């Protein structure tokens, strides 16, 4: 194994910092926790990633996201759009490859994922949102929950049921539904972590057959391609920033029995323990990025394992640091007297979201147990 | 960045793995108890060039790197090989650093803790089989012979390791003296920490492998016990943690080989993480075996005992967090 930091890694970080300093709109600064959105910045990030991050190695991929976090920038809107662009490039029709994928790459389109349904939770294949063929069109009715970023999106990557007779995985079809199509409604769903996600409702929505991705009833195959892109490993960013904030805090905060909090043996050991978790989380994420970059076949347990470790470690550190910094940790970021710009308060609120969103921990463990360890499948098919 | 083993590492792993598969079987490990030493296996390892590979003098100036030695250490841990491998390799690297040739014969160990008030090397790892030791005595790092005969002072112990309290003899070669002795000694201890971490990754990895196989076979309430989520999910967490530990060990070894400034910090991280992980995983693995797991008939207890015993050679591994925080944040400033 080999862990060299690439040549000119510092130059690269400098380049990333300069990009964020220039491209990030001033009006959005200081509002990271609310996940603010700016169309031009969204396009600029996709363009920059395409030009400067495409052939970079795992170290640089994580450096990009770390620098974003350090600059107080949240990049949650980008991953789904890039993921669907890659999916279309891999399995789209000629028309989708030529006309749709480039618009995703350019950031003309922004994708929200319409997967989970109110009655289905983690069981994505149980989707009941119906799509029925009507000549050259499809008629869609149903509802999705946790359609994050739908308020900014141009399209929803929508998982629907087209066959009620077939086993559940064989009756699904995916569409790219314009958010402004008549009958689509976006309803905000406010979360513990300041930002909001959405419910999206679909009432007699008509889309042409050209909006279909993959085969009719072949939606689960499309999902596999898309989700394999999702887990390509950008992880450990939040934990990285949380540990960095804890060190900054401890180096400045006054302590009752020693010079600064960082001189307190218990405080420094708590941060050191989280720093080990951070190193492990970073290595697990870098393995996925390395495999993606080099074309090494990934074990199906790597991506889920990485997501599981990072978010669990983040939740542990968030809870631990929240109490470590003392009573003012309860003050949110927009109030006077908040600690460290509200980071510890935010992370405590955000960590339950991370443990669930993008694949709940228990399902990640299921995948590792079943597909990596070969243990018998516990959940019903 | 590369997360695969190099060809060199793979070949070494295969060669050592083959030898241990054949000669460090569970029967051989048990037969070597309680002393925890098989002279036959030690000779076979010697024939393969281990531990001499760690020495410049014995390899015409091309000693094995830490990245290679951890591969050997991981296999050693996987098979619980009853040989003083980690101690010898650590001692040879310490001799190398001082430009001192390795002795022509006999076993050399390392005293991880300085001589005590009476001048004794207490609970010396491999002390019951060693002829010489690298030790910190009166603020000098020396290669010393040991008073008495190997086998004297052996104390039977949880890990079935050849531990003995020995007194340094009179023939001593100074490796480093004065202000430099302590930092040079710490480098040797750092080598040992990384090697032990690698061994624990091998040990815990093998316990985990045995357990995954067992929970697929063993049935209760009409289903394999691996079907139950509390079993499956904990084993899933563990395999993830094992990956993390293995990468930490490899990264620390890489940093040592390349004189990278992160070497000391990564060494501490690898050691802290793998010492706590090995105990947790082997306990869990024993537990998933049910009643048979706590009988002496089953091999899982061999792993459980060593996972608990090995990390104590240097003292409480929990204190490594204090060491790590000093490396990360500097010495504590008191008011």
pLDDT at residue A238 tops 60: yes
Q: pLDDT digits over A300-350, tens only?
A: 999 999 999 999 999 999 999 999 999 999 999 989 999 999 999 999 999
A 112-171 residues inside an 8 A Cβ radius of B: none
Instruction: Give the per-residue pLDDT at A231.
Output: 47
Which residue is closest to B71 within chain A, CA to CA?
A: A1
Q: Is the peptide bond before A274 cis (omega within 30 degrees of 0)?
A: no
Chains A, B: CB contacts within 8 A come to 160
What secondary structure letter does DSSP report for A51? Answer: I
Q: Does B216 touch chain A (CB under 8 A)?
A: yes
- Domain assignment of residue A88, yes or no: no
Q: Do A237 and A362 fall into the same domain?
A: yes
A3-7, B11-15, B34-38, B87-91: which range is least confident on average?
A3-7
* Chain A residues touching B9 at Cβ < 8 A: 1
Q: Return the structure tokens found at B102.
A: 């390795």
Q: pLDDT digits over B222-257, tens only?
A: 999 999 999 999 999 999 999 999 999 999 999 999
pLDDT at residue A69 tops 90: no
Which residue is closest to A56 within chain B, CA to CA?
A: B1
Round the average pLDDT of chain B to a whole number and report it: 96
Q: Do A237 and A344 fall into the same domain?
A: yes
B 48-67 residues inside an 8 A Cβ radius of A: 67
CB B217 within 8 A of CB B292: no
Q: Do A247 and A359 fall into the same domain?
A: yes
pLDDT at residue A263 tops 90: yes
The total number of structural domains in chain A stands at: 3
Q: Does A260 touch chain B (CB under 8 A)?
A: yes
- Is the domain spanning B183-329 CATH 1.20.140.10? The answer is yes
**Rounded to 10 degrees, what is the CA torsion of A291, A294, A296, A302?**
0
Q: In three state form, how does the secondary structure of chain B look?
A: CECCCCHHHHHHHHHHHHHHHHHCCHHHHHHCCCCCCCHHHHHHHHHCCCCHHHCCHHHCCCCCCHHHHHHHHHHHHHHCCCCCHHHHHHHHHHHHHCCCCCCCCCCEEECCCCCCCCCCEEEECCCCCCCEEEEEECCEEEEEEECCCCCCCECCCCCCCCCEEECEEEEEEEEECHHHHHHHHHHHHHHHHHHHHHHHHHHHHHHHHHHHHHHHHCEECCEEHHHCHHHHHHHHHHHHHHHHHHHHHHHHHHHHHCCCCCHHHHHHHHHHHHHHHHHHHHHHHHHHCHHHHHCCCCCHHHHHHHHHHHHHHHCCHHHHHHHHHHHHHCCCCCC
Q: Do A338 and A239 fall into the same domain?
A: yes
How do the domains of chain B map onto residue ranges? 183-329
Which residue is closest to B258 within chain A, CA to CA?
A: A4
Q: Do A238 and A321 fall into the same domain?
A: yes
Domain extent for A291: 231-372
Q: Do A194 and A307 fall into the same domain?
A: no
- Domain assignment of residue A192, yes or no: yes
Q: Cα separation of A295 and A232, whole Å?
A: 12
CB A179 within 8 A of CB A155: yes
Q: Does A372 touch chain B (CB under 8 A)?
A: yes
Q: Return the structure tokens found at B148.
A: 């008495």
CB A324 within 8 A of CB A270: yes
Q: pLDDT digits over A92-126, tens only?
A: 999 999 999 999 999 999 999 999 999 888 889 99
- Contact between chains at B325 and A308 (C-beta distance less than 8 A): no
More confident residue, B168 or B150: B168
Question: What CATH number is associated with residue A176?
Answer: 2.40.110.10
Q: Do A153 and A65 fall into the same domain?
A: no
Mean pLDDT of A30-47: 91
Q: How confident is the model at residue B204 (pLDDT cuts 50, 70, 90)?
A: very high
Q: How confident is the model at residue A370 (pLDDT cuts 50, 70, 90)?
A: very high
Q: Return the structure tokens found at B206.
A: 């093998």
What secondary structure letter does DSSP report for B247? Answer: H
Q: Which residue in the set A263, A308, A369 is minimally distant from B333, CB to CB?
A: A263
Question: What's this model's pTM, rounded to 2 decimal places?
Answer: 0.95
Q: How confident is the model at residue B1 (pLDDT cuts 50, 70, 90)?
A: confident
Instruction: Give the per-residue pLDDT at A274.
Output: 98
Q: Do A180 and A299 fall into the same domain?
A: no
Q: Do A161 and A251 fall into the same domain?
A: no
Containing H/E element for B257?
helix B229-257
Alpha helices in B158-228 (DSSP H): 181-217
pLDDT at residue A230 tops 80: no
CB A183 within 8 A of CB A207: no
Q: Does B2 touch chain A (CB under 8 A)?
A: yes
What secondary structure letter does DSSP report for B154? Answer: B
* Chain A residues touching B227 at Cβ < 8 A: 375-376, 378
Domain boundary at A50, A75, A100, which? A75
- Measure B43 CA to nearest chain A CA, in Å: 30
- Measure A365 CA to nearest chain B CA, in Å: 5
């Amino acid at each position: 194994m080999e862990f060299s930091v690439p040549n000119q890694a510092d130059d690269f970080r400098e380049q990333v910092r300069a990009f964020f300093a220039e491209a990030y709109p001033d009006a959005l600064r200081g509002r990271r926790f609310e996940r603010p959105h700016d169309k031009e910045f969204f396009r600029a990030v996709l363009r920059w990633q395409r030009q400067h991050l495409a052939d970079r190695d795992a170290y640089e991929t994580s450096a990009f996201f770390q620098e974003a976090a350090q600059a107080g920038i949240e990049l949650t809107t980008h991953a789904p759009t890039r993921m669907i662009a890659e999916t279309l490039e891999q399995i789209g029709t000629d028309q989708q490859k030529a006309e749709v994928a480039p618009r995703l790459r350019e950031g003309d389109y922004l994708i929200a994922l319409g997967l989970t349904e109110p009655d289905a939770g983690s069981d994505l294949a149980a989707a009941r949102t119906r799509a029925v063929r009507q000549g050259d069109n499809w008629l869609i009715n149903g509802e999705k929950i946790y359609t994050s970023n739908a308020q900014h999106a141009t399209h929803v990557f929508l998982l629907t049921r087209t066959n009620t007779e077939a086993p559940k995985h064989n009756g699904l079809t995916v569409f790219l539904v314009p958010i402004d199509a008549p009958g689509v409604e976006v309803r905000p769903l406010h979360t513990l972590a300041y930002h909001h996600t959405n419910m999206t409702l679909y009432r007699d929505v008509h889309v042409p057959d050209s909006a279909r991705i993959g085969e009719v009833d072949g939606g689960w195959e499309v999902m596999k391609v898309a989700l394999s892109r999702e887990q390509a490993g950008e992880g450990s960013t939040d934990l990285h920033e949380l540990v960095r904030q804890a060190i900054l805090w401890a180096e400045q905060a006054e302590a009752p029995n020693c010079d600064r909090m960082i001189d307190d043996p218990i405080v420094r050991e708590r941060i050191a323990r989280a720093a080990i978790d951070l190193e492990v989380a970073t290595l697990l994420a870098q393995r996925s990025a390395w495999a993606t970059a080099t074309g090494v076949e990934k074990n199906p347990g790597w991506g889920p394992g990485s997501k599981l470790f990072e978010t669990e470690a983040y939740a542990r550190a968030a809870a631990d640091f929240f109490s470590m910094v003392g009573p003012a940790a309860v003050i949110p970021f927009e109030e006077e007297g908040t600690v460290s710009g509200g980071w510890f308060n935010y992370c405590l609120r955000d960590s339950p979201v991370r443990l669930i969103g993008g694949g709940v921990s228990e399902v990640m463990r299921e995948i590792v147990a079943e597909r990596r360890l070969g243990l018998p499948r516990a959940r019903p098919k | 960045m590369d997360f695969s083993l190099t060809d060199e590492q793979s070949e070494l792993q295969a060669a050592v793995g083959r030898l241990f598969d054949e000669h460090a079987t569970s029967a051989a490990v048990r037969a070597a108890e309680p002393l925890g030493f098989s002279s036959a296996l030690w000779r076979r390892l010697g024939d393969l060039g281990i531990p001499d590979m760690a020495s410049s003098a014995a390899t015409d100036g091309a000693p094995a790197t830490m990245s290679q030695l951890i591969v050997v250490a991981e296999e050693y841990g996987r098979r619980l090989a009853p040989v003083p491998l980690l101690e010898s390799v650590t001692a040879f690297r310490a001799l190398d650093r001082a430009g001192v040739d390795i002795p022509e014969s006999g076993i050399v160990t390392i005293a991880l803790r300085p001589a005590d008030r009476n001048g004794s090397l207490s609970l010396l790892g491999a002390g019951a089989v060693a002829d010489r030791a690298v030790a910190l005595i009166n603020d000098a790092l020396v290669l010393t012979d040991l008073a008495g005969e190997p086998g004297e002072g052996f104390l039977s112990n949880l890990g079935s390791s050849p531990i003995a309290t020995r007194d340094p003899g009179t023939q001593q070669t100074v490796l480093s003296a004065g202000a430099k002795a302590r930092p040079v000694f710490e480098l040797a201890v750092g080598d040992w920490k990384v090697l032990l971490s690698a061994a624990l990754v091998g040990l815990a990895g093998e316990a985990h492998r045995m357990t995954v196989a067992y929970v697929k076979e063993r049935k209760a309430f009409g289903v394999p016990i691996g079907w139950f989520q509390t079993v499956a999910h904990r084993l899933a967490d563990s395999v993830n943690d094992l990956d993390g530990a293995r990468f930490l060990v490899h990264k620390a070894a890489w940093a040592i080989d390349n004189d990278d400034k992160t070497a000391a910090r990564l060494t501490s991280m690898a050691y802290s993480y793998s010492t706590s992980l090995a105990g947790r995983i082997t306990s869990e693995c024993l537990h998933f075996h049910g009643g048979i797991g706590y009988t002496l008939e089953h091999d899982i207890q061999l792993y459980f005992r060593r996972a608990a015993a090995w990390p104590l050679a240097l003292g409480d591994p929990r204190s490594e967090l204090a060491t790590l925080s000093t490396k990360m944040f500097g010495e504590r400033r008191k008011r």
